[in-house]
Homo-oligomer: A and B are copies of this chain.
């Protein structure tokens, strides 16, 4: 199959259609949107092994991983279907009239979330299914009542086209208006830029590099009408090893982290790229075990040549910094398409002085920062920029003595993990996949879990409206039976 870039004229037509479709789709009931989302999940499953084989070929990811990712994709489509079918996500608030209030009567006011408008989604390189064509951005935007235009990621165009065809079938089967979902192609930056700049685009979802996400963010803010960009960009997911716990569990901690660092050739946005610990016997044993574990992991073929080239370049750059020494690496060198697992270390002093040591190296790499004392550890933690996650390896008794550290870490990330690894993102209401800049462009929203829908909605209040003209969510009789805050009390 060959794909040619969508032309500027076609892009304009695409956005016009998306806008037109939005004006009707935004009023579809939760039940109707749920049918559509479930049909998308069903049609993706119908694609069967063709989808799995195509994704494997285009991304070099193993079968088990693709099958797992397909499950996550159909899973979040069905999760959002359940969410909008139930309906309480719109945050309905009702304050009834008080005609006798003095000095002025109080009118009836009712508020709920409504969809923000046509959304442009950029497929991610590292998740050909779960963060791409029917990924979390698309599913949450469709659930909110937004129409979606997906720009296929050039590294897995065929996979994207297959998923788009499944969504197309789901649209037909459930009677969706033309233009609810559209799929466009573009190898260079032009198509993406034109979509973000188009006046009918109302929000953007992106998962990828800092350079890419930041460029789209800037472009969106420079529009005559700025629009929100939800870009998940760059995170080194620091792991802090507290000394007492480490001295007891050095070996087990090293095994868990080695697995997390090298999972999927290190190509997860939650890969632990920075480990912070205090010098001592515990750290020595940890480094020994980690090095031994990393040696055993073979190089893996990366998602595409660009990502492999980037890994080699960023790795060499990191290793060339003052104070950085290799602690261990895979016993195999691997070829130029592969990522060779490697761990290095540097003293806290070097990290504090040199911002280059905090840069993301996307791949199976982690840098261990050796701190002489707790003050150095605090200095390192204070230097950390915004992250998706931070992890603390410590038992309860030890962490209770370091509440100050926890207090600072809360400012640094969207998700704090105690005694675990950052990889493995649950798709559930409590998930926060996002964090302070530069992890994302908007720390107030998550890209994963039910709350991801809130990125694509805004509140609208209806004042003194006749019941028949209100959306069902706000009608007096609560015909949908959703949770609502009525005169300050929650009920359904």
Contact = CB atoms under 8 A, between A and B. Distances in A.
A41 interface: no
A226 B111 contact: no
Interface string A296-329: 0000000000000000000000000000000000
Contacts of A457: 444
Interface string A399-426: 1100100111011011111111000101
A430 B94 contact: yes
Contact of A469 (B399, B444, B445): B399
A87 to B, nearest CB: 13
A95 B432 contact: no
A460 B225 contact: no
A189 interface: no
Interface stretch (A148-156, A164-172, A482-490): A482-490
A109 B431 contact: yes
A461 B435 CA distance: 10
Contacts of A93: 429-430, 451
A399 B431 CA distance: 42
A443 interface: yes
Contacts of A27: 407
Interface of A: 23, 27, 93-95, 104, 106-107, 109-111, 114, 116-117, 217-218, 221, 225-226, 228, 385-386, 396, 399-400, 403, 406-408, 410-411, 413-420, 424, 426, 428-432, 434, 436-438, 441-446, 451, 454, 457-466, 468-469, 483, 485, 488, 490
16 contacts: A93-B451, A95-B429, A110-B430, A226-B437, A396-B469, A400-B469, A406-B469, A414-B461, A415-B460, A417-B463, A418-B465, A420-B463, A429-B485, A432-B459, A432-B461, A434-B459
